[in-house]
Amino acid sequence: MLTQLKDIIGDLGFLSFEISLAAGAIVILILGLVVKHKLAYKVGFIAVLLLALLLLSFGQEEVLLLGDNLQFNDLGALLKALFVFTAIWIVFYPTAENHGSEYYFLMISMILGSALMLSANNLLVIYLVIELTSFASYSLTNFDFKKKSFEAGMKYLLFGGVSSALALYGASILYGYSGTLSLSGMDFGVVENSAFLNLGMALFIGGVLFKVSVVPFHIWVPSTYEATPTDAVAVLSVIPKIAGFVLLNRILDALNVYEISWLLNTVTILGIATIGMGTLGALRQTNVKRLIAYGAVAHSGFLLAAVLIPFENGVSAFVWYAVVYALMNVAVFYLVSLFESKGMTEVDQFAGLYKKEVYLGGLVVLVMISLIGLPPTSGFTIKLFLFTVMWEWYQSVGDPLTVAYLVIAVISVVFSLFFYLKIPYQMFLRDGQNTNYSQSSLSQRVIATIFTLLVLWLFFRPEILNNIANNIKFLDW
């Protein structure tokens, strides 16, 4: 008993990132009671994130903590740093002016849940951290206190509730067959081919697919993105998704799905469908955030491909895609929130905007072509890497399904050109009157420029990210 306690206390050192987030969340909540000044919450939020980042340790071997409930490795550390980097900018978003302390409390809770998702190694822990992330997300969706938000939040909540209930049921089946909750010890022995067990696996994996918005679990995405405050969307579209994919990979690995061809093929086909549905869905959107939401669904399909690739390069491609995807989303949602704060949410409102906002228009073009995946942006670099690894995937397994995946992915790029360019198209090619439009301020332009330059920079100097990645022993998930 005492030694167990000692172990736990000893393990807590590894958990400093998570602990400081949890403590910080509570501090901010208290701060909200004491200080009424909104700036204080923002400062507090930044301070908590930076503190957590400071306490993050890199370069260690993989460890199992608290029994074997949590698994820590460098990939997790890298992605946690990425989470902080993604989230810290939201205080600069023009739509973030009026958030109370609860908002930042929820935001930190979501980051905490996602950070734990990177490490969760136990069926029950997985369920708990998914719920932690989800509940924070549900509440954030409602944070605009508008009718539309409630509708979207309710949709999100119902979908999320049902899928986590099914996942829990799946987890109970897995527990029943293996007799353990730990992913490390998952062994189904002779019953491996039982249909009921397969059902359990499918349900459990489905619960995670919901978080990463893979078809057919993506239905909540457009309306949720549309109704949620844009600064929250920037985080919501990146952090839980990346965490979910890492978790998905661990589960696929633990359940040995790479050997179960029907399940692997199903997930592969879902990935192809995700790219297809996301792209086709986006074509007809007229609302800026819904359009980008469908685009984000398509990006999930690309990320899923990297997760499914069963060798080392898949991890590299995944890390690359995750980092650049985060950068692009921060940039694009910043621009969206800039325009949103001036009342522009529909694509056709952008008509003729170049007369007032030529510079930001140029940045929008660059960020959009990065989302499409054209040079000279890092969006191209990640597509190139991913396609390279997918070629290798085909070379190593020879499965026509992998070729289909590659082909659909490539074709989707052509379609994505069509919808991502809608906004630049309206801005530059259409004529319109924006009499009420007030120009963006210098500071806003500077921030937007920084985000855009980051997106470009990784194209011209990709070895920088690669060096960081190489110093970290992330070769195993």
| Shortest Å distance, C-beta 328 to other proteins | 17
Two tokens, residue 226? 């549309």
From residue 267, give the alpha-carbon distance in Å to each of 170, 173, 221, 258, 477.
16, 20, 19, 10, 19
Amino acid at 335: L
Nearer to other proteins, 297 or 406 (CB): 406
- Contact mark string toward other proteins, 358..397, x via CB under 8 A: x------x---x----xxx---x---xx-xxx-xx--x--
- Using the rule CB under 8 A, is 468 a contact of other proteins? no
Say if CB 409 and CB 301 are below 8 A apart: yes
Of 430 and 445, which CB lies nearer to other proteins in the complex structure? 430
CA nearest neighbour of 84 among 167, 126, 24, 2: 24
Q: What angle do CA 152, 234, 299 make, to 5 degrees?
A: 90
Could you tell me which of 18, 14, 110, 121 has the C-alpha nearest to residue 57? 14
> Nearest Cα to 204, choosing from 160, 248, 238?
248
Q: Does 351 bind other proteins (CB under 8 A)?
A: no
Please give the helix or strand (H or E) that residue 64 lies within, else none: strand 63-65
DSSP state of 427: I
Cα gap 194→453, rounded to integer Å: 53
Complex with other proteins: residue 243 or 406, whichever CB lies closer = 406
Q: Return the residues of window 314-333 that contact other proteins according to CB under 8 A.
A: 315-316
399 lies in the binding site for other proteins (CB under 8 A): no
Cβ proximity to other proteins: between 259 and 431 the closer is 431
Q: How far apart are CA 254 and CA 133, in angstroms?
A: 22
Using CB under 8 A, pick the residue from 429, 438, 453, 471 that binds other proteins.
Answer: 429
243-282 footprint of other proteins as x/- string (CB under 8 A): ----------------------------------------
| Span of 190-198, 279-287, 324-332, 418-426 interacting with other proteins by CB under 8 A | 418-426
Tell me the C-alpha distance between 161 and 154, whole Å: 10
Site for other proteins contains 286 (CB under 8 A): no
**Residue 425 in contact with other proteins, rule: CB under 8 A:** yes
Q: Pick the piece of the chain touching other proteins (CB under 8 A) from 33-41, 135-143, 222-230, 416-424.
A: 416-424
Identity of the residue, 262 or 391, whose beta carbon is nearer to other proteins in the bound complex: 391
Should residue 418 be labelled a site residue for other proteins when binding is judged by CB under 8 A? yes
The Cβ of residue 149 has, within 10 Å, a number of other Cβ atoms equal to 20
Nearest Cα to Cα of residue 385 among 454, 328, 455, 313: 313
Number of CB atoms found within 10 A of residue 340's CB? 18
Q: Is 421 in the site for other proteins (CB under 8 A)?
A: yes
Tell which one of 215, 304, 347, 413 touches other proteins (CB under 8 A): 413
Give min distance, CB of 343 to other proteins, in A. Answer: 25
Between CA 378 and CA 390 the distance in angstroms is 18
- If you write DSSP's letter for every residue of 150-183 in order, what string do you get? HHHHHHHHHHHHHHHHHHHHHHHHHHHHHS--BS
Does the footprint of other proteins cover residue 196 (CB under 8 A)? no
How far apart are alpha carbons 346 and 286 in whole angstroms?
6
Residue 267 has, within 13 A of its CA and on its CB side, a CA count of: 32
| Residue whose CB is less far from other proteins, 173 or 413 | 413
Residue 301, classed as helix, strand or coil, is: helix
Q: Indicate the residue among 125 and 306 with the shorter CB distance to other proteins.
A: 306
Measured from the CB atom, the residue of 334 and 385 that comes closer to other proteins is 385
Closest CA to 18 of 123, 133, 139, 127: 133
Considering only 430, 449, 454, 457, the residue that binds other proteins (CB under 8 A) is 430
For 32, residues 6+ apart whose C-beta sits below 8 A from its C-beta are 41, 100, 101, 102, 105
Q: Determine if 156 is a binding residue for other proteins (CB under 8 A).
A: no
Whichever of 101 and 377 has its CB closer to other proteins, that residue is 377
Asked whether the beta carbons of 133 and 376 are under 8 A apart, the reply is no
Q: Decide: is 417 part of the binding site for other proteins (CB under 8 A).
A: yes
Instruction: Kindly state the smallest distance separating residue 327's Cβ from other proteins, in Å.
Output: 18
CB of 284 to other proteins, least distance (A): 16
| 442 binds other proteins, rule: CB under 8 A | no
Pick the piece of the chain touching other proteins (CB under 8 A) from 102-110, 289-297, 305-313, 344-352: 305-313
Residues that bind other proteins (CB under 8 A): 311-313, 315-316, 358, 365, 369, 374-376, 380, 384-385, 387-389, 391-392, 395, 403, 406, 410-411, 413-414, 417-418, 421, 425, 428-430, 461-463, 466-467, 470, 475
